[in-house]
């Protein structure tokens, strides 16, 4: 059995994709529309891309530090 | 009439039966030991690699909830239903490291359930019992939601009896098949079926999001049609944007659901079945891909508005099946219905296995049959997995909230009460075990009381009508609404914190801690992985 280590200052990056989608007052608007999607919808779908990018980044960075 | 849907029924039937055959055959897949052992039946041998775990957890999380309940909410209430997207975005960064810690400590000590962990961490049988019961009870309404999902597809095909018992007959048959192969194959059945499920679902989504807007005049037109509908309706809370009253509910729902998802026993089952920490971490980065699909399916609720689709038999939950029925060619609608049906079977199987493991490990063996052999443990679990499904049926018959989604949200209110002992317990042993029990009781009491206060606007029932409570109900002068689970867990945490301080001050003895800090970062060692019996080759 080996030991991993979770501690890394990069983990704080994970706070971004948690906090941003919860700040609904920032994007509770119809415009600007993108491909017919109101801002409220396309931006929240775009957050999916953000969370994939950030979690992947944190995973890579924490692996390198070890 | 079902005769008008013959093509759909044949396509659905063939796919459904094919998947069932796969479920039974799964007992031989990647077999590494006797199925008469809980590690094998209930955790698939603890050897699933990245891909299988991705499909399995995807099957866990993206369920009939996604395909049926969320679009139904958007169809009827608008933007508020879109909370499912931020919920499935924030959950991964939020719980990534907690789940990795849960994997490690469970691997080190051979835990099968979250309650096993609590038992060791707090050295308290009572607290573990409470966590186990909470998990079982919370899982039942979630399984019930899957039943409602399959039923929505069946109803749309006209497969619905006339009255009373026969009304539920088709769904009973579907569930009997599910129960049988879960019994015989354990976790391997949903893991294998999840591949088929996801292939079907992705196929349907890709076709739906390209073909439907094309037929309905583009996404802009779909959103405009939805906006016009909500504009015209008398209901105060709807619209394609949030309003001052439901914005807080949206945020608390997303956050509460995310925390609840991580605490559900079936999530632990999916996590513990994976091979090592890396598999869990990589999946946290890859699983959000499903959320994009979830968001697009959710918007089919609006597509149904633009298409002028009417729910079957006045049941909002049938809105997506009814949309497919109206706009897809019959054979492809059959494929889509099969995707919905199979999409409900996979999580229902995993959930019943998780609940059964809880009963066996933390109630049966702990209190009733100490020293049961692994074979007997596995047998008890198999039988319990059947009983749990009956419990879910009772929820369908007993509670029929306005939206199917509330079944999952009520389950969420219940499971959230294990946040201090399981979730926070993964990081600190600070809470006193007595205070955790008091907090659990307070949170559960407050949660159930608040759910009791929520009326159902559609059926005019006064109680258990949903999961969003108006602050005016609680004596505040405000029409704003909030997710009940969020308030209940706040009560729980407050009591647990105050209780810990009081019990410490009074020097009341606390149990020990059967875990060491290093246990939470333990990993399967590299050499062992190389000679491991489990290989990815099978996939």
DSSP string across B71-82: HHHHHHHBGGGG
Q: Which residue has the tokens 């074979």?
A: B375
Whether B114 is in a domain gets the answer yes
What is the count of residue pairs from A and B with beta carbons less than 8 Å apart? 128
B47 close to B539: Cβ distance less than 8 angstroms? no
The predicted-structure confidence for B5-53, as pLDDT tens digits, reads as follows 788 888 888 988 888 888 888 777 766 666 677 777 777 777 788 888 8
Please provide the DSSP assignment of B197-262 as one string: HHHHHHHHHHHHHHHHHHHHTHHHHHHHHHHHHHHHS--SS-BSS--TTTHHHHHHHHHHHHHHHH
Q: Which of residues 101-130 of B touch A (CB under 8 A)?
A: 101, 104, 108
Beta-ladder partners of B468:
B483
Question: Distance between terminal CA atoms of chain B?
Answer: 42
Residue B44 has phi, psi (to 5 degrees) of 60, 25
B424 close to B431: Cβ distance less than 8 angstroms? yes
| Cβ-Cβ contacts under 8 Å, B524 against chain A | 1-2
CA torsion, points B307, B313, B314, B315, in degrees to nearest 10? -90
Whether B129 is in a domain gets the answer yes
What's the CATH code of the domain at B198?
A: 1.20.1730.10
What's the rounded mean pLDDT across residues B233-256?
84
CA torsion, points B270, B273, B278, B282, in degrees to nearest 10? -30
Range from B128-132, B310-314, B384-388, B500-504 carrying the lowest mean pLDDT: B310-314
**SS3 category, B468:** strand
What separation in angstroms does the CA of B148 have from each of B6, B141, B144, B182, B226? 22, 10, 6, 19, 25
Provide the CB-side half-sphere exposure for B452 (13 A, CA): 6
Whether B347 is in a domain gets the answer yes
Q: Which of residues 517-536 of B touch A (CB under 8 A)?
A: 518, 521-526, 528
DSSP element (H, E) containing B347: helix B330-359
B481: nearest Cα among B235, B227, B251, B141: B251
Q: Of the candidates A3, A36, A44, which has its C-beta nearest B220's C-beta?
A: A36
- What is the model's pLDDT at position B31? 66
Chain A touched by B391 (CB under 8 Å): no
Q: Which residue has the tokens 């509670």?
A: B399
Q: Scanning every residue of chain B, which has its alpha carbon at the shortest distance from the alpha carbon of A50?
A: B89
Residue A22 C-alpha, separation from nearest chain B C-alpha, in angstroms: 6
Residue A10 C-alpha, separation from nearest chain B C-alpha, in angstroms: 12
Q: How confident is the model at residue A1 (pLDDT cuts 50, 70, 90)?
A: low
Q: Give domain limits for chain A.
A: 9-65
Q: Scanning every residue of chain B, which has its alpha carbon at the shortest distance from the alpha carbon of A56?
A: B285
Q: For residue B189, count CB atoms less than 10 angstroms from its CB and return exposed for 0-12, middle for 13-18, buried for 19 or more.
A: buried
| Cβ-Cβ contacts under 8 Å, B526 against chain A | 2
Whether B527 is in a domain gets the answer no
Whether B10 is in a domain gets the answer no
A21 with B86: Cβ contact below 8 A: yes
Residue B499 C-alpha, separation from nearest chain A C-alpha, in angstroms: 30
Whether B422 is in a domain gets the answer no
> Residue B253 is encoded by which pair of tokens?
């729902």
Residue A7 C-alpha, separation from nearest chain B C-alpha, in angstroms: 10
| Cβ-Cβ contacts under 8 Å, A25 against chain B | 247
A4 with B521: Cβ contact below 8 A: yes
| Cβ-Cβ contacts under 8 Å, A28 against chain B | 241-242, 247
Q: Of the candidates B104, B223, B292, which has its C-beta nearest A36's C-beta?
A: B223
The predicted-structure confidence for B462-505, as pLDDT tens digits, reads as follows 777 777 888 877 777 777 888 899 899 999 999 999 999 999 99
Whether B350 is in a domain gets the answer yes
Count of domains observed in chain B: 1
Q: How confident is the model at residue B537 (pLDDT cuts 50, 70, 90)?
A: very low
Is 90 exceeded by the pLDDT of residue B66?
no
Q: How confident is the model at residue A60 (pLDDT cuts 50, 70, 90)?
A: confident
Q: How confident is the model at residue B459 (pLDDT cuts 50, 70, 90)?
A: low
- What is the model's pLDDT at position A54? 92
Chain A touched by B329 (CB under 8 Å): no
**Whole-number Å distance between alpha carbons of B149 and B168:** 13
DSSP element (H, E) containing A3: strand A2-3
DSSP element (H, E) containing B344: helix B330-359
What percentage of chain B reaches a pLDDT higher than 90? 25
Beta-ladder partners of B470:
B481
**Whole-number Å distance between alpha carbons of B19 and B25:** 10
DSSP element (H, E) containing B523: strand B522-523
Among A35-49, B61-75, B387-401, B468-482, the range of highest mean pLDDT: A35-49
Is 70 exceeded by the pLDDT of residue B387?
yes
- What is the model's pLDDT at position B300? 92
Q: Which residue has the tokens 């659905």?
A: B12
Q: How confident is the model at residue B162 (pLDDT cuts 50, 70, 90)?
A: low
A52 with B288: Cβ contact below 8 A: yes
Q: How confident is the model at residue A11 (pLDDT cuts 50, 70, 90)?
A: confident
DSSP element (H, E) containing B135: helix B125-156
Q: Scanning every residue of chain B, which has its alpha carbon at the shortest distance from the alpha carbon of A45?
A: B292
What's the helix, strand, coil split of chain B in %, to 5?
Answer: 75, 0, 20
- What is the model's pLDDT at position B151? 83
- What is the model's pLDDT at position B492? 95
Residues contacting B161, CB < 8 A, separation 6+: B167, B168, B169, B170
Looking at per-residue pLDDT, the higher value among B192 and A54 belongs to A54
Q: Which of residues 223-242 of B touch A (CB under 8 A)?
A: 223, 240-242
Range from B42-46, B113-117, B181-185, B362-366 carrying the lowest mean pLDDT: B42-46
Whether B292 is in a domain gets the answer yes
B135 close to B264: Cβ distance less than 8 angstroms? yes
**Whole-number Å distance between alpha carbons of B307 and B179:** 37
The predicted-structure confidence for B212-227, as pLDDT tens digits, reads as follows 888 888 898 899 998 8
Q: Which residue has the tokens 């569930």?
A: B175
What separation in angstroms does the CA of B329 have from each of B380, B398, B510? 46, 36, 65
Residue B359 domain boundaries:
35-230+256-400
- What is the model's pLDDT at position A7? 72
**SS3 category, B123:** coil
Question: Distance between terminal CA atoms of chain A?
Answer: 16
A51 with B90: Cβ contact below 8 A: yes
Q: Scanning every residue of chain A, which has its alpha carbon at the shortest distance from the alpha carbon of B242?
A: A28
The predicted-structure confidence for B84-114, as pLDDT tens digits, reads as follows 999 999 999 988 889 999 999 999 998 989 9
Q: How confident is the model at residue B532 (pLDDT cuts 50, 70, 90)?
A: very low
Round the CA-based radius of gyration of chain B to a whole number and report it.
Answer: 23
- What is the model's pLDDT at position B539? 35
SS3 labels along B359-370:
HHHHHHHHHHCC
**Whole-number Å distance between alpha carbons of B126 and B324:** 49
A5: nearest Cα among B100, B453, B470: B100
- What is the model's pLDDT at position B311? 85
Chain A touched by B281 (CB under 8 Å): yes
What's the rounded mean pLDDT across residues B351-366?
89
Residues contacting B481, CB < 8 A, separation 6+: B237, B245, B246, B248, B249, B468, B469, B470, B471
């Amino acid at each position: 059995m080996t030991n991993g280590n979770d501690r890394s200052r990069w983990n704080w990056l994970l706070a971004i994709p948690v906090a941003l989608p919860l700040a609904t007052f920032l994007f509770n608007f119809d415009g600007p529309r993108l491909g017919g999607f109101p801002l409220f919808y396309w931006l929240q779908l775009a957050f999916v891309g953000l969370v994939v990018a950030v979690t992947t980044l944190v995973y890579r960075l924490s692996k390198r530090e070890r | 009439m079902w005769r008008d849907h013959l093509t759909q029924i044949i396509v659905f039937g063939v796919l459904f039966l094919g998947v069932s055959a796969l479920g039974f055959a799964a007992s031989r897949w990647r077999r590494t030991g006797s199925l008469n052992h809980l590690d094998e039946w209930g955790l698939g041998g603890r050897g699933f690699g990245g891909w299988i775990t991705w499909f399995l957890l995807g099957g866990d999380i993206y369920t009939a909830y996604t395909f049926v309940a969320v679009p139904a909410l958007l169809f009827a209430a608008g933007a508020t239903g879109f909370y499912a997207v931020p919920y499935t975005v924030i959950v991964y960064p939020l719980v990534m490291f907690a789940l990795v810690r849960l994997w490690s400590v469970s691997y080190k000590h051979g835990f099968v359930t979250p309650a096993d962990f609590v038992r060791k961490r707090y050295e308290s049988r009572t607290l573990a019992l409470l966590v186990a019961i909470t998990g079982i009870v919370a899982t039942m309404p979630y399984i019930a939601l899957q039943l409602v999902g399959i039923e929505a597809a069946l109803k749309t095909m006209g497969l619905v009896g006339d009255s009373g018992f026969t009304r539920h007959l088709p769904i009973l048959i579907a569930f009997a098949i599910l129960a049988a192969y879960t019994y015989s194959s354990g976790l391997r059945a949903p893991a294998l079926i999840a591949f088929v499920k996801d292939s079907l679902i992705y196929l349907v989504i890709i076709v739906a999001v390209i073909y439907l807007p094309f037929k309905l005049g583009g996404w802009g037109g779909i959103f405009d049609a939805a906006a016009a509908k909500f504009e015209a309706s008398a209901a105060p809370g709807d619209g394609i944007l949030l309003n001052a009253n439901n914005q807080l509910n949206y945020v608390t729902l997303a956050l509460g659901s995310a925390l609840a998802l991580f605490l559900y026993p079936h999530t632990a089952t999916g996590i513990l079945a994976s091979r090592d920490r890396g598999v869990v971490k990589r999946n946290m980065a890859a699983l959000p891909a499903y959320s994009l699909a979830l968001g697009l399916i959710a918007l089919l609720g609006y597509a149904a508005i633009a298409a002028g689709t009417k729910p079957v038999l006045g049941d909002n939950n049938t809105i997506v099946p009814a949309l497919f029925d109206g706009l897809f060619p019959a054979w492809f609608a059959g494929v889509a219905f099969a995707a919905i049906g199979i999409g409900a079977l996979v999580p229902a199987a995993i959930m019943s296995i998780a609940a059964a493991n809880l009963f066996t490990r933390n109630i049966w063996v702990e209190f009733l049959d100490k020293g049961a052999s692994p074979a007997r443990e596995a047998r008890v679990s198999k039988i319990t997995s059947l009983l749990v499904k009956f419990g879910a049926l009772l929820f369908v018959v007993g509670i029929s909230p306005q939206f199917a989604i509330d079944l999952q949200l009520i389950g969420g209110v219940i499971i959230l009460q294990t946040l201090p002992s399981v979730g926070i317990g993964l990081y600190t042993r600070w809470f006193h075990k007595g205070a955790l029990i008091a907090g659990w009781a307070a949170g559960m009491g407050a949660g159930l009381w608040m759910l009791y206060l929520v009326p159902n606007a559609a059926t005019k029932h006064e109680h258990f009508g949903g999961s969003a409570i108006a602050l005016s109900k609680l004596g505040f002068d405000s029409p704003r609404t909030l997710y009940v689970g969020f308030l209940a867990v706040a009560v729980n945490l407050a009591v647990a914190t105050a209780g810990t301080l009081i019990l410490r001050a009074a020097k009341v003895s606390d149990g020990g801690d059967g875990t060491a800090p290093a246990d939470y970062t333990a990993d399967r060692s590299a050499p062992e992985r190389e000679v491991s019996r489990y290989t990815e080759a099978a996939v």
